[in-house]
């Protein structure tokens, strides 16, 4: 890799269960406007500034289905700053959009890239959309959605490694507790394990509190090449490794407790970042856990611990904010992020930690952090991004 890529700034809106005060466009502008204000950046199409410091590409991340709109970002070029700009749209999770942004800079074709993800989950019914994410011939008629697919994965994980519903509940207690320190988190809750276990059963073994809530919000980041990053901020955070990967589509073709694509994505990112033992070298991880068990399973896929060991780590408090390897000190996706935006929020949170801008949720002395995004049923596609001070 001949060029280096840094994150210059990251902005989130406050995530809420139903954003009725702002339209989607206004939500985007809340994030983008703040980015422009913080960095003083302009857009290339505006002529940029004399030092050549301007945003030269925009990557937006949204999906037509959730927006109920063909070309989902079409209405929002005013808020994104798209007029006359180089612009593309990643139709997937926000971490993949960050990946694309990093690639566009590594390609030598772009220097400063604005990446934006947004979604209002409250305006539609997610399970209907998720059902359309399965092949229409064999799977869709079953009425399957991402919740029921995840439940199968959770069951397989329990069966194979003997992890327990109590351990899943520990993840919820930790993350919703961490959310108290995060002003952007939607749901901070003081919970006990029995409270999680006794919440409403949705799809065995997943209960209401095991699942991420419906959420609305937006996130924006600025990525820059080394030279531009140094001109834009005194505390750039470097992206040292990136990797993403697809798994097979039919759930029966996968051992759902394996997460092969995550392992592959992580391996690519670690290789690029020169990481050989992630369990020792990663100081903090922001993991997309749309369901409680996923934080544990993804930790194993990421090789942050051995197979089947993550349940013990959560019980021993290793992943608490004061533990050896803090996981989701932000409160994670369980505390409320729209899927699709969630992966970008993980990168944003890792950035805030490494640039000492995480406020009350700041973890001291972290040098290397990992951010993870996921999309597709039961984690079919994963994206891993390694960040360094």
**What sign for the dihedral angle of Cα 78, 83, 86, 92?**
positive
3 state SS for 216-283 = EEEEEEEEEEHHHHHHHCCCCEEEEEEEEEECCCCHHHCCCCCCHHHHHHHHHHHHHHCCCCHHHHCC
Give whole-number Cα distances, 17 to 93, 201, 206, 343, in Å.
Answer: 19, 20, 20, 18
Least distance to another protein, CB of residue 374, Å: 12
Of residues 143 and 183, the one with the C-beta less far from another protein: 143
Of residues 19 and 104, the one with the C-beta less far from another protein: 104
Least distance to another protein, CB of residue 267, Å: 11
Least distance to another protein, CB of residue 225, Å: 12
Of residues 146 and 168, the one with the C-beta less far from another protein: 146
The residue behind tokens 């996921």 is 374
Residues at the interface with another protein (CB under 8 A): 1-2, 58, 63-65, 68-71, 74-75, 77-78, 82-92, 96, 99-100, 103-104, 106-109, 129-130, 132-137, 243-250, 260-261, 264-265, 268, 272, 375-377, 380-381
Instruction: Name the token pair of 322.
Output: 């004061």
Of residues 253 and 277, the one with the C-beta less far from another protein: 253
Least distance to another protein, CB of residue 323, Å: 32
Of residues 22 and 87, the one with the C-beta less far from another protein: 87
Least distance to another protein, CB of residue 380, Å: 5
Least distance to another protein, CB of residue 104, Å: 5
Of residues 254 and 361, the one with the C-beta less far from another protein: 254
Instruction: Name the token pair of 236.
Output: 């750039």
302: Cβ contacts below 8 Å, ≥ 6 apart: 262, 263, 266, 278, 285, 287, 370, 372, 384
Could you tell me if 364 and 356 are in contact, meaning their C-beta atoms sit under 8 angstroms apart?
Answer: no
Question: How many other CB atoms sit within 10 Å of the CB of residue 51?
Answer: 8
Could you tell me if 207 and 196 are in contact, meaning their C-beta atoms sit under 8 angstroms apart?
Answer: yes
Of residues 260 and 281, the one with the C-beta less far from another protein: 260
DSSP summary character for residue 385:
E
Least distance to another protein, CB of residue 66, Å: 9
């Amino acid at each position: 890799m001949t060029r280096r890529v840094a994150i210059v700034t990251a902005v989130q809106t406050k995530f809420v269960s139903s954003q009725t005060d702002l339209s989607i466009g206004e939500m985007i502008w809340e994030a983008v406007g703040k980015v422009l204000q913080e960095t003083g950046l302009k857009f290339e199409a505006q002529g940029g500034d004399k030092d050549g410091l301007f945003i030269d590409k925009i990557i937006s991340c949204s999906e037509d289905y959730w927006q109920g709109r063909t070309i989902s970002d079409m209405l929002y070029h005013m808020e994104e700053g798209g007029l006359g700009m180089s612009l593309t749209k990643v139709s997937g999770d926000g971490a993949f959009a960050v990946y694309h942004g990093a690639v566009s800079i590594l390609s030598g074709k772009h220097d400063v890239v604005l990446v934006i993800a947004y979604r209002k989950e409250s305006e539609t019914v997610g399970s209907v959309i998720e059902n359309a994410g399965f092949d229409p011939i064999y799977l869709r008629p079953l009425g399957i959605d991402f919740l029921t697919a995840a439940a199968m994965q959770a069951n397989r994980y329990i069966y194979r490694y003997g992890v327990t519903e109590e351990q899943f509940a520990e993840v919820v207690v930790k993350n919703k507790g961490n959310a108290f320190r995060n002003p952007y988190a939607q749901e901070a809750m003081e919970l006990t394990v029995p409270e999680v276990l006794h919440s409403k059963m949705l799809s065995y073994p997943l209960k209401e509190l095991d699942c991420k809530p419906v959420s609305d919000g937006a996130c924006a980041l600025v990525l820059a090449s080394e030279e531009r990053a140094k001109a834009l901020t005194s505390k750039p955070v470097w992206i040292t490794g990136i990797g993403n990967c697809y798994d097979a589509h039919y759930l029966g073709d996968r051992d759902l407790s394996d997460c092969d694509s995550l392992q592959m994505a992580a391996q690519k990112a670690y290789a690029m970042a020169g990481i050989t033992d992630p369990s020792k070298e990663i100081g903090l991880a922001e993991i997309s856990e749309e369901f409680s068990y996923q934080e544990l399973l993804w930790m194993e896929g990421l090789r942050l611990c051995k197979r089947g060991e993550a349940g013990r780590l959560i019980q021993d408090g290793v992943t608490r904010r004061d533990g050896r390897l803090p996981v989701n000190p932000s409160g994670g996706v369980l505390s409320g992020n729209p899927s699709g935006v969630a992966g970008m929020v993980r990168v944003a949170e890792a950035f805030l930690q490494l640039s000492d801008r995480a406020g009350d949720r700041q973890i001291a002395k972290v040098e290397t952090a990992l951010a993870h995004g996921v999309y597709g049923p039961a984690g079919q596609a994963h994206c891993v991004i390694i960040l360094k001070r």
